[in-house]
Structure 1
C-alpha cells in the first residue's frame, strides 16, 4: 500500500476527477429498459450515467421523495454552520437534461423471474436490468426499548431529512448545562467518522451557545476510525466537554426508556437531555425482501460489475453492499455507481467496459475552521475489494492547512452534488 501526495489528493477530490469518470457514448441501437430503485447518491448517479452513456437505454428512477437531503455534511447544519436548504437537492436536472423518467413512489416488491417491479401505487414496471440503491435499514429490537416509534423521541438522524431537523430542534431547546448522549453503533455502519464528527460539531455549537453542556459518546466499539485525530481535536477545541466510553468499558447500551429519556448500560443508567441513538444497521428493507442480502445482513456483489451474487440481472450499489474493505460512504456509492453504469451499458448495448477504479474521498469537520481528509483507492482483488492506496490527515498539522481543507471540503460538496444531481 502506498500513500499519495496532497497534490494527487486534491485532484481526486476535485471536480476534474469527477467528470473524468464520465462514460463514453455507445453506438449500439438496441432499445433496453433499466429501472433504478433509490434516488440517493448511488441510485441518482447510476441513472444519470446510464442515461448519458447511451440514448438507446430507457432509464426510470423510482424514488418516493421529491427532494433528497444529504446525510453527509448534516452535522454542519446541527452546528449552525450550514442551512438545511443547502443540503437538499431536487431531481429536476436529471429529468430535464438526461431524459430520465422520475417516478415518486415506493417499490413494493421485485419479481426477478418476471423482471418486474411492483410499485405501492399498484403500477408495475418491466426491466431488462435492475439496479438497487436501497441504502440502510436499522436493526430495531437489538437494543431493548429502541424501535421505530422511539426515533421520534431519540432520533438517529442517520438519514438526512426530518430526523436531522428533529435533532437540531432538540439541541436548540436543551438548557445550558444539559447532557447530549450519542450512542454509536457497531461496525459496519454508514459513514465511519460520522458519530464522532457529530460530537465535534455539536460541541462547537455548545461552546458558543451552551458552554456548560457536556457530550457523552457510548460506543459499541472499542476503537473508531481516525480516533487520534478526533481526540486531539477534542483536547484542543473542547477540553472537558466530550467524553468517549468504549464498549469494553460499559458493556454497550443494553436498553433505553423513551418515557424518562434514560439509557442503560451494564453498570449505569444515564438520563441525558437529548439522546442521539444510532442503531446497528443492515441493507435496506427492499434488499432484504428481495433475497439480495446474505446472512451478514448486507448484499454480496460481484466486485467488477456490482451484480448481485444471489439474484442475477440485479445490480446493487451504495451502503447496502458488502464487498471487502470498502467503507460505507457517499463518494464510494458514487464511484460504485459509475462502474455499475458502465457494466450495465456494456451488457445491454455491447459497448466497451471500463476497468473498475474505485475511489473514496471523505472530509471530516472538527470545528468550523478545522477539517481533516482521507482519500482511498480500492480495486477488485479476487472475490472482494481491497484498499490499494491511502492518504489520511495527521495529528499536529498546521492550522492554515486545516483551514484549506475546510475550503476544499466546501468546494468538494458543490462539485460532488452537481455530479450526482446536476
Structure 2
C-alpha cells in the first residue's frame, strides 16, 4: 500500500467548504493552542492554519527549536541514515501562518482556558490540542530511572539519546554484549524495538561482527514476530537472542553503576544496555487532567476530542486510540480528523466522517523492509480496525527491496506534510 497525500491527510478535501464559513468567536478570531510539535501536533497546527485561511489564530508550543523524528531513528543506529537527515525545523509552520513558541508548557487551567509556559507567559485558548507524545513510567524497570539514561539510554525520544546510544554501540569491545530491555504494552511504535535490534545488528556486522545482542522482553509475543525472527536468521544468524518471560525476560533488574543486568536474580555483565521503560502520556496531558488510570488520554473516537473536556483534543501517542497503534502514520491520520473536527466546531459546518489509517515499515537490513498496517473507523466507544495487511514471510528480495524504497518515499512525504 503506497501512501499518498490523500492517505496521510484523509478527509482534508472536505475543508474547502469550511473556509468561506464565518468563524465568529466572541469579538475576534478563535484561538487554538497546540502543545507538542511532533507528527501529531505539528500536522494539526500547520493544516489548521492553512485550511482556515487565517480565520483561526493557531499557536504551536514546542520546547525544542528542531524536531528529530523517532520514526527512522533506528536507521541512524544502523548506519543507514545520518542524524541530520532526521531533524526538522518549524519555518514551514510559520510560513503557513502558525505562531510558533519555543517554550515548555507547564500548566493548563481548563476552567479559565489558559496554558502556562515555563517562562511565565500565559496563553488563552478557545480550543486546546494536546500532542505531547510519551513519558516513561518511573520504576517500571527495577534499578533504572530517567537519571540513569546517560548510562543506560532509552533512545525512545529521538535526539541526543539516539546519538549517545550509537556512540556506545560503536565503542563496544569486540565480542561485547548489547542488551535491550523491551517495554510492556502499550508503547510507542510496537515493531520499533525489534527493528532496532536489526539495525544495531547491521551496524555491528560492520564494526564488531562477533558481538551479541540480547533482547529481554516482558511480552510473550510482539509485532511482526515471524518476519523479524526470519530476518535475524537470514541476516544476523547467531547474533540476536530474544528472551521471553518463560526464560526470565520479565524478571529483570538493572545496575547502572556496575553495568549489570540481573535476570531472575543472576547478574550478567553488559557492555551497552538500552532500557526502554513502560510508557504513558506526556506530562502536560496528565497535568491538564485528561488522562485516566491507564496513564493515557481517553478520547471520543469520531473526533479525537478528549472524553474529559469538550474544549480539548488529544491525539498521537498520548491518546487511548484503542486498536490503532502509536505510530507516526497513525498520529498524522488522527491529525487530519482533528483538523476537520476543529474547523467544524469553530465554523459550525458539517464534519466529514472520521477516517483513520496506519502503516508501519520496518527495516530488517539494507534493501530489505517489511510493513503492516490497516484501516480504522469510530465504533461506539473506541476506534476499531476495519481491515489490515502485513508483509508475507515468503516475499522475494525484489518485493522487499521495493518496500524498503517505499519506506524512504513515505518518510519524505510525511515529513513534508508535517513540517512543510
Which TM-score bucket, shorter chain as reference? over 0.9
Indicate if the aligned counterparts of 2:74 and 2:199 stay in contact, CA closer than 8 A.
Answer: yes
Counterpart check, 1:14 vs 2:4: yes
Q: Do 1:116 and 1:124's aligned partners in 2 also have CA atoms closer than 8 Å?
A: yes
Native 8 Å contact 2:280 2:295 kept in 1: yes
Q: Retained in 1: the 8 A contact 2:11–2:355?
A: no
Q: Which runs of 4+ in 1 moved over 2 A?
A: 14-25
1:311-369 residue CA offsets vs partner (Å, 9 max, x unmatched): 22111010011132111101100110110111011111123312100000111000011
Instruction: Verify the 8 A CA contact 1:250 1:267 in the aligned structure 2.
Output: no
Task: Tell me how far 1:21 sits from its aligned partner.
Answer: 4.2
Instruction: Give, in whole Å, the separation in 2 of the partners of 1:119 and 1:79.
Output: 37
Give the C-alpha shift of residue 16 in structure 1.
5.1
Q: CA deviation at 1:292?
A: 0.9
Aligned twin of 2:72:
73
Count of matched residue positions in the alignment of Structure 1 and Structure 2: 411
Change in Cα spacing, 1:254 to 1:236, as seen in structure 2 (3 Å) is closer
Report the equivalent of 2:88.
Answer: 89
2:42 to 41, 44, 49: 44
Alignment match, 1:383: 381
Instruction: Please state how far the C-alpha of 1:126 moved relative to its aligned partner.
Output: 0.5
Counterpart pick for 1:216 among 214, 235, 240: 214
Partner of residue 119, structure 1: 117
Shift of 1:17: 3.2
1:200 aligned counterpart, secondary structure = helix
From 297, 305, 308, give the equivalent of 2:306.
308
Secondary structure of 1:95's counterpart equals: helix
Equivalent position of 1:256 in the other structure: 254
Conserved 8 A contact 1:48-1:100? yes
Q: 1:142 deviation in Å?
A: 2.4
Q: CA deviation at 1:144?
A: 2.3
CA deviation vs aligned residue, 1:237-266 (integer Å, no higher than 9, x gap)? 111000000123205143211111111122
> Does the 8 Å CA contact 1:221/1:248 hold for their aligned counterparts?
no
Q: What do residues 374-397 of structure 1 show as CA deviations (whole Å, max 9, x unaligned)?
A: 121011111001111111001011
SS class of match (2:149): helix
Checking the alignment, whether the CA contact within 8 Å between 2:10 and 2:333 is kept in structure 1 is no
Q: Give the TM-score of the pair, scaled to structure 1.
A: 0.95
Alignment of 1:142-181 (within 5 A): 142-181=140-179
Aligned with 1:265 (options 260, 263, 266):
263
SS at match of 2:316: coil
Aligned counterparts, 1:316-395, within 5 A? 316-395=314-393
Match of 2:33 in 1: 35
Alpha-carbon contact 1:27-1:351 (below 8 Å) kept: no
Aligned 8 A contact 1:183 1:253 in 2: no
Task: Check whether the contact 1:379–1:385 (CA below 8 A) recurs between aligned residues.
Answer: yes
- The aligned counterpart of 2:417 is 419
- Unpaired stretches in structure 1, ≥5 consecutive residues: 1-8
Whether the 8 Å contact between 1:143 and 1:253 is mirrored in structure 2 is no
- Provide the residue aligned with 1:109 in structure 2: 107
Deviation at 1:27, TM superposition (A): 1.3
The separation in 2 between residues aligned to 1:368 and 1:143, in whole angstroms, is 32
1:331 and 1:364 map into 2 onto residues whose CA distance is 13
Question: For residues 260-294 of structure 1, what are the alpha-carbon distances to aligned partners after superposition, in whole Å with 9 as ceiling and x for unaligned?
Answer: 11111224322111000000001111111211110
The answer to whether the Cα contact below 8 Å between 2:10 and 2:337 also exists between their aligned partners in 1 is no
Which range is displaced more, 14-23 or 118-127?
Answer: 14-23
Q: Name the SS for the 2:75 alignment partner.
A: helix
**Deviation string for 1:382-413 (max 9, x for gaps)?**
10011111110010110011011111111110
Secondary structure in 2 aligned to 1:41? coil
Following superposition of structure 1 onto structure 2, how do residues 180-191 of structure 1 map, counting pairs within 5 Å? Answer: 180-191=178-189
Does the CA-based 8 Å contact 1:219-1:252 persist in structure 2? yes
Distance in 1 (CA, whole Å) between partners of 2:243 and 2:7 is 39
The whole-number CA distance in structure 1 between the counterparts of 2:9 and 2:320 is 26
Q: Which residue of 2 aligns with 1:140?
A: 138
Separation (CA, whole Å) in 1 of partners of 2:320 and 2:415: 24
Normalised to the residue count of structure 2, the TM-score between the two structures is 0.96
Give the Cα separation in 2 of the matches to 1:142 and 1:205.
Answer: 29
Q: 1:205 offset after TM fit, Å?
A: 0.9
